[in-house]
Amino acid sequence: MILTVALSLILCSLLIFVNSIIGKKSTSDREKLTPFECGFDPKSSARVPFSLRFYLVALIFLIFDVEITLIMPIPIVFQQIKIISISMLTLYFILILIMGLFHEWNEGALDWDN
For 108, which DSSP code?
Answer: T
| Band of residue 7 on the pLDDT scale cut at 50, 70, 90 | very high
Q: What is the pLDDT of residues 51-88, one digit of tens each?
A: 777 777 788 888 888 888 888 888 887 778 777 878 88
For residues 17-30, average pLDDT:
75
Residue 21 has pLDDT above 70, yes or no: yes
pLDDT score, position 39: 62
Domain ranges of the chain: 52-108
Distance CA 67, CA 72 (A): 9
Pick from 59, 66, 56, 52: nearest CA to 97: 66
SS3 40: strand
Average pLDDT, the chain: 79
For residues 85-103, average pLDDT:
86
pLDDT score, position 82: 77
Instruction: Give this prediction's pTM.
Output: 0.46
pLDDT score, position 57: 78
